[in-house]
C-alpha cells in the first residue's frame, strides 16, 4: 500500500501573447481577421471614453453609482467569440462586453439613472441583465448551459465575475455542477486584484485562481487580462471545446481596475498609487494600439479618427438618453414587471407608496 502521487489530467498555464511594448509572440499569435482586430480596438476605445464620460455624468449627479471599467477593456476579446445564440452572463463590470453584444450606450445610462428600461437586453440576443450580487450569475450560466445540453444545442454560456466571487459558495456550486454534468459553460474570472477594498491576497491563499479549476476536473488557464490577443486565444479554446461537447472551462484573466470599485468609494484609502502606476504602464489599449500600428492596420491618422468617431457616438447616445429621461421615472413602475399577479404583501406596499406619493403631491400643490 504505497504512498504515491495521483496523476491529474490538467496543469495550470499562464498565457501572454502581446507584451507592454506591443511586441507579439509569433508562435502564439491567434489567427484573427484584420477587420476584427480593428473592431476590437475600436470597441476598447469606445468603452474607455464612455466610461470616462459616465464618471463625469455621475459626478454631475445625472446618473447614480456605477462600477467603472477602466483598465479591463480587453474583455471584448472573449465575447468576440460568441454567436448570437450564445449566452452572455455578466456581472456589473462588463459594460464593454454588453456593448459589443448589442446593448446601446443610452440603455447603459438609463440603467444607472434608475430607469427600468436600462435593464432591457436586445430582443435578438441572449444576454442576461447585469448581476449585482457577487457570484450568483455563475449559477445562472450553469442553468443556461444545462438547458443547451438538454436540448442538444451547440451554443455556450459565458459567465463573467470578479476575483471576489471565487470566495462565494455560488462559484463553487456552479463549477461543480458544470463539471459533473459537462455543460457548455465558460467561466471568466476578471481578477482585477481588488474585491472592493480587499486585496486579492485576502481573498484566496491559492497561488492562482485558475488552479481552482483542478478541483472540479476542468481545464483552467491563467491569461494576461490586459492582452486582448491572449484573452481571445484563451476564450477560443474554451468556446470551441464547449461547442464540441468537451464541457466547461475556467479562465483567470489577470487584469487591474485602474479606477475605483464603484463611484461610492475612494481607492486612495486602501491602495497605493505606486501600484496603480505599475498597471497604467500595462494599459491594454496602449499595447494593442502599438501592435496594430506595427502591423500597419492603424495609422496616427486612423487612431485620431477612431477617437473622434467614438466621441461623436457617445455624444449622440447621451443626447438620445437625455430626451428619453425628460419625463421623470414613475416609481410605481417598480411593481410592474416581476410578477404577473402581485402577492398580497407587495400589493400592500404598492398601495402604501401610492398614498405617500399622493400626499406629497397634495402638499406640493
Q: Which residues, at least 6 apart from 45, have a Cβ–Cβ distance to it below 8 Å?
A: 285, 306, 307, 310
Active site residue 48: no
CA pair distance 231, 227, nearest whole angstrom: 6
DSSP state of 18: B
- In this structure, the number of other CB atoms found within 10 A of the CB of residue 297 comes to 14
Torsion of CA 88, 90, 96, 101, to 10 degrees: 20
Question: Measured between alpha carbons, how far apart are the two ends of the chain, in Å?
Answer: 88
DSSP state of 11: -
CA pair distance 325, 301, nearest whole angstrom: 36
Active site residue 101: no
Selecting among 101, 241, 257, 282, the annotated active-site residue is: 257
Q: Pairing relation of β-strands 13-15 and 157-162?
A: unpaired
CA pair distance 109, 114, nearest whole angstrom: 9
Q: Pairing relation of β-strands 198-199 and 194-195?
A: antiparallel
CA pair distance 149, 160, nearest whole angstrom: 20
Active site residue 257: yes
Torsion of CA 104, 108, 113, 116, to 10 degrees: 70
Beta-bridge partner residues of 161: 189
CA pair distance 325, 59, nearest whole angstrom: 18
Q: Which residues, at least 6 apart from 349, have a Cβ–Cβ distance to it below 8 Å?
A: 335
CA 188 to chain CA mean position, Å: 9
- Residue 305's φ and ψ, nearest 5 degrees, are -65, -40
Selecting among 14, 150, 270, 339, the annotated active-site residue is: 270
Contact by Cβ (8 Å): 156, 239: yes
CA 29 to chain CA mean position, Å: 24
Selecting among 42, 93, 261, 282, the annotated active-site residue is: 261
Q: Which residue has the cell 406629497?
A: 360
Give the residue numbers annotated as catalytic, written as ranges: 257, 261, 270
Amino acid at each position: 500500500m504505497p504512498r504515491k502521487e495521483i496523476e491529474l489530467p490538467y496543469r495550470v498555464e499562464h498565457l501572454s501573447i502581446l507584451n507592454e511594448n506591443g511586441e507579439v509572440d509569433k508562435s502564439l499569435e491567434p489567427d484573427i481577421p484584420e477587420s476584427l482586430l480593428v473592431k476590437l480596438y475600436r470597441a476598447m476605445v469606445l468603452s474607455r471614453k464612455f466610461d470616462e464620460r459616465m464618471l463625469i455624468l455621475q459626478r454631475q449627479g445625472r446618473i447614480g453609482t456605477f462600477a467603472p471599467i477602466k483598465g479591463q477593456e480587453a474583455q471584448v476579446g472573449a465575447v468576440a467569440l460568441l454567436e448570437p445564440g450564445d449566452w452572455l452572463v455578466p456581472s456589473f463590470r462588463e459594460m464593454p462586453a454588453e456593448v459589443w453584444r448589442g446593448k446601446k450606450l443610452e440603455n447603459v445610462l438609463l440603467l444607472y439613472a434608475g430607469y427600468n428600461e436600462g435593464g432591457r437586453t436586445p430582443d435578438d440576443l441572449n444576454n442576461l441583465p447585469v448581476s449585482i450580487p457577487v457570484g450568483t450569475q455563475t449559477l445562472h450560466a450553469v442553468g443556461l448551459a444545462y438547458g443547451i445540453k438538454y436540448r442538444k444545442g451547440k451554443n455556450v454560456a459565458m459567465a463573467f465575475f470578479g476575483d471576489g466571487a471565487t470566495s462565494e459558495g455560488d462559484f463553487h456550486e456552479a463549477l461543480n455542477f458544470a463539471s459533473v454534468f459537462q455543460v457548455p459553460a465558460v467561466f471568466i474570472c476578471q481578477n482585477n486584484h481588488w474585491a472592493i477594498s480587499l486585496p486579492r491576497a485576502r481573498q484566496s491563499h491559492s497561488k492562482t485562481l485558475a488552479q481552482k479549476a483542478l478541483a472540479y476536473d476542468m481545464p483552467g488557464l491563467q491569461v494576461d487580462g490586459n492582452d486582448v490577443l491572449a484573452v481571445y486565444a484563451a476564450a477560443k479554446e474554451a468556446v470551441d471545446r464547449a461547442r464540441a461537447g468537451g464541457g466547461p472551462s475556467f479562465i483567470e484573466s489577470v487584469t487591474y481596475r485602474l479606477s475605483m470599485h464603484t463611484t461610492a468609494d475612494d481607492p486612495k484609502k486602501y491602495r497605493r498609487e505606486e501600484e496603480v502606476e505599475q498597471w497604467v504602464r500595462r494599459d491594454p489599449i496602449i499595447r494593442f494600439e502599438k501592435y496594430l500600428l506595427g502591423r500597419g492596420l492603424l495609422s496616427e491618422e486612423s487612431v485620431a479618427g477612431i477617437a473622434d468617431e467614438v466621441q461623436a457616438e457617445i455624444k449622440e447616445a447621451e443626447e438620445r438618453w437625455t430626451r428619453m429621461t425628460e419625463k421623470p421615472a414613475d416609481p410605481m413602475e417598480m411593481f410592474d414587471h416581476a410578477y404577473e399577479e402581485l402577492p398580497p404583501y407587495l400589493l400592500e406596499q404598492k398601495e402604501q407608496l401610492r398614498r405617500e406619493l399622493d400626499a406629497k403631491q397634495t402638499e406640493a400643490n
